[in-house]
Amino acid sequence: MNEPIFTEKAPAAVGPYSQAMKAGNMLFVSGQIPFVPSTMKLVSQDIKEQTRQSLENVKAILEEAGASLNDVVKVGVFIKDMNEFAAINEVYSEYFNKNKPARACVEVARLPLDVKIEIEVTAYLTKNYLD
């Protein structure tokens, strides 16, 4: 049975979807944009700050589901400008320094609310996390 995951420590969905969905021992976290959860405003125009906020939002959702960044097996990174790839990787590597999940990073024409980055993850939940 699928179980939606919600936390106030990450931005509310800006459309008809869940922050994440647990299906068996898999957790699928919807794309997270760099909005500060308490204000629902963009953190800044700086790509490093946007990357950090997006990852903090992902982390909060994982924690709500009883998981961590170490449980992530796949990451999808959607960026507005591939020229910012190195700056994004600099911040990304702070979060995924031991666990290095599979990843795709693609440049897109436009992201929701005109942000510069959106990050989605898939995590594998160990038996300890299952209800």
Contact predicate 103/72, CB 8 Å: no
Query: For residue 98, what are the β-bridge partners?
Result: none
**CA 32 to centroid of chain Cα atoms:** 5
Q: Which helix (H) or strand (E) holds 121?
A: strand 117-124
| Residue 128 banded pLDDT, cuts 50, 70, 90 | low
Nearest to 13 by CA among 24, 4, 22: 4
> Is 105 annotated in the active site?
yes
pLDDT number for residue 112:
92
Span 97-118, mean pLDDT?
96
Q: What is the rounded CA–CA span in Å between residue 24 and residue 21?
A: 10
Domain 2-129 classification at class level: alpha beta
Distance between CA atoms of residues 91 and 82, nearest Å: 15
Ordered by start, the domain boundaries in the chain are 2-129
Instruction: Answer yes or no: is pLDDT of 130 > 50.
Output: no
* Pairing of β 102-107 and β 72-79: parallel
Q: Who contacts 52 (Cβ-Cβ below 8 Å, separation ≥6)?
A: 34, 43, 91, 94
What pLDDT band is residue 31 in, cutting at 50, 70 and 90?
very high
Catalytically annotated residue among 44, 105, 111, 129: 105
Q: What would the mean pLDDT of 92-110 be, rounded to a whole number?
A: 97
- Name the pTM for this structure: 0.95
User: What is residue 1's predicted lDDT score, i.e. its pLDDT?
Assistant: 81
